[in-house]
Structure 1
Amino acid sequence: MNIYLIALLLYSIFLMALGILMSRRVKNSADFLVAGRSMGTGRLFATFLAANIGAGSTVGATGLGYRMGMSAWWWVGSACIGTFLLSQFLGPKLWVLAKEHGHATLQDYLEFRYNKAVKAVIAILFWFGALAILAGQLIAISWILNTVAAIPKWEGCLIGGIVAIVYCTAGGMMSSSFVNMFELAVTMSGLLLAVPFALHALGGWSHVHELVLANTGSQAKTAALFSITGAGPKQLLAWIAILVPSFMISPGLVQKVYGACDVKTVRVGVGLNSAGQAIFAFVPAVLGLCAFAAMPHLANPELALPAAMKALLPEWLGVWTLASIFSAELSATDAILFMLSTSLAVDLYKTFLNPQVSQQKMLWVSRLASISAGIVGILLAAVLPSIIQAVSIFYGLIAVALFVPVLAGLYSRRVLARAALCSIFAALAATLLTVRLTHGSGVGLLSPQAIGIATAALVMIGFRVLAPSIVTQKASSVQETVL
């Protein structure tokens, strides 16, 4: 009898049942898409942090900790910087616009600020990126199930996908926000407990250092692993360039902002999430080092976290922490699945196919889109090789394509649709060209994504200086609303 597998299966059934129960509160598409704009500080904090602590922040980041040591803090730490900026600057402005004009997605804002062409381009790019990060979450779930029960990767992806599809499709953001509160309690308690127990199993921090030194055979390599900047400035700047902008303007996070009940809730709830991420960022880095100290020859570093849970913890805590990892991946999976379904329903179906759709029909379209996106994500997860690769595809696309148009639209009166479209395509071209010419290494300290964002900014500035546009009534109304 595999107690780990039984516990995860029972936990999955409980989450699906909870999601279906909470779906009774969903009466229309507004409840499904933005939780009726009713979330208080506690629910907003929980659903934000649960979504942000996913595959990349747990299994993926621990794999980075296994290879790069304490520098892995910057993977989650960069995200915390981005969400803090979202909480204090962009989020309140976007919430005011969403409340006034009924926006349900970030792409709704882009249509309002620019036009439908900008909305369509971003929606298409977002779908490709979001499918990749959805696959990354499902890969993480499959690694967990493979570690505890030798379940093949494709079966693990299928199991995780089914669980997320059921409770996300049942109640959308309304259901997910309640389920996320429970998932967050399980995730944080399990992973925070894992750190002291893992350190104790290895004889304390000083003995971990000795074991790592014995495994590397080099004082310099060991010092780099125990330094928060040991990965080097180029690697750290690459993570910052991808993750800080992405977490400032991620469509999924912005949609959660829309679910807040007021501006103060956005500032406090998302701000607390940022503080939680900053603290949590040390957890995967430390656990990755512990895994390397105990098991220096893992074939796949992304198995470091579930392997450490089984090898270094007592069985009762191992069950709890594996459930917490599983919970983290599921909460992020449903957040991404929800992003995809609402984007397909709102940005494609309602905008281009049926603008007069009723709220009840919109609810069913959203649910059908959720199921469809989940199926595609499962198929993609079976093909992509690693979590970090999948997650990086999403964050790279979001940062390069969205960051400059969103910021320029909020803070400049004279940036209009043609400037936004040119900046998007120029940024993508510059990024792809840099990747091809430098084999993904970038130029100097600048990663391909950083070069893409800089290109977008230069194009925007060029339009603003060399071809200033006449301010339209729509552009003026946006600025009056947010300033």
Structure 2
Amino acid sequence: MSIQLIIVCVYIALLFGISFYVKRRADKGSTEYLFAGRKLSAGLIAVNITGLAVGAASTVGVAENAFKVGMAAGWYNAAWAAGAVVMGLVAAGKLRAMKISTIPEFFEKYYDTKGRVISAVGLVIIMSVITALQYLAGGAILASLLPDIFSFKGGMMMSAVVFIGITLIGGLWSSGLSNIVSVCLIYVGVLYSCFAAVNNAGGIENIAAQLPPTLDWFDPLAGIPMAVIIGWFIVMVTQAITAQGPVQIACGARDAKTARKGFLLGGILIFPIGFLCALLGIVAKVSFPDITATMALPKVVMSLNPVASGTTLAALWAADVSTACTILLGAGTLFSQDIYKRFINPSVSDEKFVTVNRLTIFGVGLITLWFAFNAAGILKTMIAGLSMTTALTCVFLFTVFAPGLCRRSSAFYTTLVGLLGLVVWEFVPALHVLQHVIYFEWLICIVTFLIVAVVDKTPIKVPEYVEEEA
């Protein structure tokens, strides 16, 4: 058995050990299972949001992009870090103080039932697409780095077993404590790989001398148009406020102050990883110039000694696991809270509801795995999918900061237009003069919201906060 495989097996065993350790706590009720009893500390919130942010796109994807455009690829993670910081400053404390569970619940509380239904549908689509992406990425990582053990589909199946199993057993408690291990492993693996890979390549100066002269590879502002980088920031700030993953983490906080502090600390943890992975992509450009860009990070990692490559392999897969578990839990929560409990069985007992949540997560996990087996190009559409949260964030920000402009039908029509806008963007190339779908989404959502404010005369009630914010 190879050293790399042993390290990965130990990591998997540790994750399942943590999950079974917290199972008794998660079994106490739906609040414990879905929101960790609303007892998460700032540290657990920080590693949770870091684990959610630092997935396959933030590691393998960034290195792949850096292989083509240089250090500027690292801005993807910087954008996620900015999203976490803005969430901490603007929304995390308010969401926790409102004692809500999901954005669709927020929509019905202050708007109407139609707003809850359409936002739940939109969010389930987003979470399902991103969950399927994690299966694809997990399969690619295991198949690339352990080809004698895993085929691509075999890697996807193993990833699914771990993703679904950990989430199913311990809920947010399991995800939270597992992310302590995952985030530490990510930092150890990526930092050591950067040090060893740069050293093996002869140092930064030697690397720079061998790079193609067509681009200033180490300039973080070269290689990618500024409009695209700004678009990444807008997308990530937008989704961080209303996507179910960050919302669920915020709602699991001990109190509003803890929620704010945890997201701000998470932003600090997220920021460096992108530029470190971009550096590995640049090293691959020099060391393995003829490989495909997708193989940039795997190829560099496997050129290191077995212990280093095994640790980094586990770190890359840890990034995928940490993202997938939180997203899978969020997708299950949306269905069970906003569809099953609200419309199918409102009087369900809390004990039975925990079982329903577990069955929902299992079902969502299998459906998204099937989707991953039968879909292609998910990575290319991930940013577009996250852009679907524009309408939700638009409604949330107006509700919190300008409730006088909010009307009963604002949530429904703004979300509907936001969803239709993505379809229009795909089929009307002339709109691409805006360079990124997020600009188009914000434009149509704000215009729609303001039009509804004029046409609809029925105001909403002013948002209430259950606890005093520190």
Name the TM tier (shorter chain): over 0.9
In structure 1, list runs of 5 or more residues that go unmatched: 214-218
What code does the residue aligned with 1:459 have? T
- Cα 1:482–1:406, aligned 2, differ >3 Å: closer, same or farther? farther
- Count, aligned residues: 465
* Contact 1:3 1:319 (8 Å CA) reproduced: yes
Is residue 319 of structure 1 aligned with residue 310 of structure 2? Answer: yes
**Residue 350 (structure 2) aligned to one of 339, 342, 359:** 359
Aligned position for 1:476: 462
> What per-residue deviation string (whole Å, max 9, x for no partner) do you get for residues 114-172 of structure 1?
12211111111111111111111111111111112222222111110111111110110
* Contact 1:56 1:391 (8 Å CA) reproduced: no
* Contact 2:408 2:456 (8 Å CA) reproduced: no
Partner SS for 1:223: coil
Aligned position for 2:329: 338
Aligned position for 2:145: 148
- Cα 1:279–1:192, aligned 2, differ >3 Å: closer, same or farther? same
What code does the residue aligned with 1:158 have? M
Task: Output the CA distance in 1 between the equivalents of 2:230 and 2:124.
Answer: 26
* Contact 1:33 1:104 (8 Å CA) reproduced: no
* Contact 2:215 2:223 (8 Å CA) reproduced: no
Is residue 405 of structure 1 aligned with residue 405 of structure 2? Answer: no
* Contact 2:75 2:275 (8 Å CA) reproduced: no
Aligned position for 1:4: 4
Alignment of 1:7-18 (within 5 A): 7-18=7-18
* Contact 2:284 2:300 (8 Å CA) reproduced: yes
TM-score by length of 1: 0.91
Task: Output the CA distance in 1 between the equivalents of 2:18 and 2:81.
Answer: 29
In structure 2, list runs of 5 or more residues that go unmatched: none
Aligned position for 1:80: 81
- Cα 1:477–1:44, aligned 2, differ >3 Å: closer, same or farther? closer
What code does the residue aligned with 1:306 have? P
Task: Output the CA distance in 1 between the equivalents of 2:323 and 2:8.
Answer: 17
Moved more, 184-193 or 357-366: 184-193
Task: Output the CA distance in 1 between the equivalents of 2:384 and 2:130.
Answer: 7
Alignment of 1:43-82 (within 5 A): 43-82=44-83
**Residue 431 (structure 1) aligned to one of 405, 422, 426:** 422
Aligned position for 1:274: 267
Aligned position for 1:264: 257
Aligned position for 1:389: 380
- Cα 1:365–1:411, aligned 2, differ >3 Å: closer, same or farther? same
* Contact 2:48 2:179 (8 Å CA) reproduced: yes
Partner SS for 1:182: helix
Task: Output the CA distance in 2 between the equivalents of 1:194 and 1:294.
Answer: 14
Aligned position for 1:307: 299
What code does the residue aligned with 1:463 have? V
* Contact 2:407 2:456 (8 Å CA) reproduced: no
The alpha-carbon deviation at position 386 of structure 1 amounts to 4.8
Moved more, 245-254 or 324-333: 245-254
Task: Output the CA distance in 2 between the equivalents of 1:124 and 1:412.
Answer: 26
Partner SS for 2:432: coil
Is residue 160 of structure 1 aligned with residue 159 of structure 2? Answer: yes
Task: Output the CA distance in 2 between the equivalents of 1:394 and 1:172.
Answer: 25
- Cα 1:385–1:289, aligned 2, differ >3 Å: closer, same or farther? farther
The alpha-carbon deviation at position 350 of structure 1 amounts to 0.4
- Cα 1:387–1:290, aligned 2, differ >3 Å: closer, same or farther? farther
- Cα 1:430–1:226, aligned 2, differ >3 Å: closer, same or farther? same
Partner SS for 1:147: helix
Partner SS for 1:476: coil
Alignment of 1:138-287 (within 5 A): 138-150=135-147, 151-213=150-212, 219=213, 221-223=214-216, 226-287=219-280
Moved more, 107-116 or 157-166: 107-116
- Cα 1:471–1:416, aligned 2, differ >3 Å: closer, same or farther? closer
Task: Output the CA distance in 2 between the equivalents of 1:390 and 1:320.
Answer: 30
Aligned position for 1:461: 450
Aligned position for 1:90: 91
- Cα 1:390–1:322, aligned 2, differ >3 Å: closer, same or farther? farther
* Contact 2:384 2:437 (8 Å CA) reproduced: no
- Cα 1:392–1:129, aligned 2, differ >3 Å: closer, same or farther? same
> What per-residue deviation string (whole Å, max 9, x for no partner) do you get for residues 326-358 of structure 1?
111111111111011111111110011111111
- Cα 1:229–1:357, aligned 2, differ >3 Å: closer, same or farther? farther
Task: Output the CA distance in 1 between the equivalents of 2:169 and 2:424.
Answer: 43
- Cα 1:432–1:224, aligned 2, differ >3 Å: closer, same or farther? farther
Task: Output the CA distance in 2 between the equivalents of 1:224 and 1:185.
Answer: 29
Is residue 113 of structure 1 aligned with residue 102 of structure 2? Answer: no
Identity %: 22
Task: Output the CA distance in 2 between the equivalents of 1:52 and 1:288.
Answer: 19
**RMSD between aligned alpha carbons?**
2.1
* Contact 1:86 1:249 (8 Å CA) reproduced: no
* Contact 2:408 2:459 (8 Å CA) reproduced: no
* Contact 1:167 1:176 (8 Å CA) reproduced: yes
Task: Output the CA distance in 1 between the equivalents of 2:272 and 2:160.
Answer: 29
Partner SS for 1:112: helix
* Contact 1:410 1:478 (8 Å CA) reproduced: no
Task: Output the CA distance in 1 between the equivalents of 2:365 and 2:318.
Answer: 17
Partner SS for 1:355: coil
Partner SS for 1:430: helix
TM-score by length of 2: 0.94
Moved more, 406-415 or 359-368: 406-415
